[in-house]
Copies of this chain bind each other. A is one copy, B any other.
Amino acid sequence: MAEDRRTRRSRRALGAALVELVLERGFTALTVEDITERADVARATFYAHFRDKEDLFARVTADLLDELGERLAPAVADSAVGFTGKPVLEMLRHAREERDLYRIVLRGDGDGKPLQMFTDACAKATADEFRARAERNAVQPRIDPDLLARVWVGEQIAVLRWWVEQESPSLPAEEVVRMLLDLALHGRYWASGFEPAV
């Protein structure tokens, strides 16, 4: 007895309506009735599935993270050796497909809680990977893995946000990855075009 078709329909419609409306008006400005109206669903039905709009947003975000996690797994395995940029590239592709949802999450709608879910998930996964590699290669990281992960993830998310907010023909994902890799490899001086003069 798989999930009832009506249940799926309602949930999907409500999630999609939320994303559309948050993009248009922002999370705070939304009413539960706005959402149900757009989704073409009765208001009582909303409460049969979700506690409130925060709950809905949280679940939509959690689903997105699950999907991202599944897509990232093989890429991470592939690049276990060094920084190949494969996971980042995969994330950018995912973001392109789910652009609207990425936008509203990265904008920090919903008091930043979905964004926090996103950031924390990425930071945790990254830190774990850093630690695993350090152990595997028997090297001592020069900077605390957790801090390093935060930095790396903060950087990626900043770029990701910039990228999904760009209008139309933005930089191709491959190009963005190349830039991030250059930064990771050479540091900021290289990027800015002149050598250290401290």
Contacts and interface: CB of A to CB of B under 8 A. Distances in A.
Nearest to A141: B193
Interface residues of A, number: 57
Interface string A157-171: 111011000000000
A119 B122 CA distance: 20
Interface in A104-142: 107-113, 115-116, 130, 133-134, 137, 139-142
A134 B83 contact: no
Q: Is the interface of A mostly helix, strand, loop or mixed?
A: helix
26 contacts: A27-B111, A28-B28, A81-B198, A82-B197, A83-B189, A84-B198, A107-B116, A108-B108, A108-B112, A109-B112, A111-B112, A140-B193, A141-B193, A143-B179, A148-B192, A150-B158, A150-B159, A154-B155, A154-B158, A157-B158, A183-B187, A184-B187, A185-B187, A185-B188, A185-B189, A187-B187
Given A142-B191, A150-B161, A151-B159, 17 more contacts: A28-B111, A83-B189, A108-B113, A108-B116, A111-B111, A130-B192, A140-B193, A148-B191, A150-B158, A150-B162, A151-B183, A152-B188, A153-B158, A154-B159, A157-B158, A183-B187, A184-B187
